[in-house]
Structure 1
Amino acid sequence: MKFQTEYGEVEITVNAIRRLVYLAVLETYGPISIGSDNWFSRWFSSEEGKIKVEEDEYGHLKIDIFVEVEFGTKVTEVGKNIEENVIHKLRAFANCENPEVNVHIIGVR
């Protein structure tokens, strides 16, 4: 992802975006762990690697986050809070406008 500032061009890698999303999820109340949609990824990748970040040719981001939530929390509220926190962090730190954030609740513990 590239954007222009008055001082020059800034490029942010997909891995940096993934790390920023991971930290935003950790700051949100409710999720216990970041999971994945398939068993192979659950066993053989780090939690940060289980966040899918895709960028299209126009620079728009699509982010899929797979989380397990704490028992007793409102699942819809946790998903909404994660989405809002991720969008806020991406706008503030990475200058991303209107990223598509999809939160998938894969379990309750």
Structure 2
Amino acid sequence: MSLEIETKHGKVDITNDVIATIAGGAAEENFGIVGMASQHQIRDGLTDILRRENFTKGVIVRQEEDGLHIDMYIIVSFGTKISEVAHNVQERVKYTLEKTLGLSVETVNIYVQGVKVMKEA
């Protein structure tokens, strides 16, 4: 599925993979985020943190009549307040997608898939 935007110069077609990559990049910029996780960790065999090229496994984009709905599967850093990290991710992803795509993002749902303890150097 993709997003079609009509302009006076023609059509712009943006795939859900591109939207997922933008959303995943925006999420990773937040303090307390270790990375993205796969929605189906055991089925995909990905118990590790996803790299940028695999964000589509950790970000689900749904397009409905009222706007975009984003589901994100994240891993947070141990010792951070999970509710605050999730709220910050929601705000940044919504802002980034609305500014980048010019569309309404109705929901950003956060699913915390794990907590990672960072080793001190």
Which category describes the TM-score, using the shorter chain as reference length? 0.7 to 0.9
Identity of aligned residues (%): 27
* 8 Å Cα contact 2:34-2:75 kept in structure 1: yes
Amino acid at match of 1:50: G
How many residue pairs align between the two structures?
108
CA contact (8 A) 2:97 2:105 kept: no
Partner SS for 2:71? strand
Q: Which has the higher contact order (CA 8 A, sep 6+)?
A: 1
- Asked if residue 96 in structure 1 is aligned to residue 107 in structure 2, the reply is no
Q: Is the 8 A contact 2:66 2:106 kept in 1?
A: no
Q: Is it true that 1:81 corresponds to 2:88 in the alignment?
A: yes
The 5-angstrom pairing of residues 1-109 of structure 1 reads 1-38=3-40, 39-43=42-46, 47=50, 48=55, 49-56=57-64, 58=65, 60-109=67-116
1:99 match: secondary structure: strand
Q: CA RMSD in A?
A: 2.2
User: What is the distance in 1 between the residues matched to 2:13 and 2:43?
Assistant: 32
In structure 1, C-alpha distance between the alignment counterparts of 2:66 and 2:10, rounded to whole Å: 17
State the TM-score, normalized to the length of structure 2: 0.77
- Which sections of structure 1, spanning at least 5 residues, go unmatched? none
Higher fraction of strand: 2
Cα deviation, 1:27-60, whole Å, max 9, x if unaligned, reads 111111211343113529x82122111223x372
TM superposition shift of 1:80: 0.3
Sort the Cα spacing of 1:41 and 1:50 in 2 relative to 1 into closer, same or farther, 3 A. Answer: farther
Hey, what's the Cα distance between the residues in 2 that align with 1:77 and 1:85?
Answer: 12
Deviates more, 1:16-25 or 1:35-44: 35-44
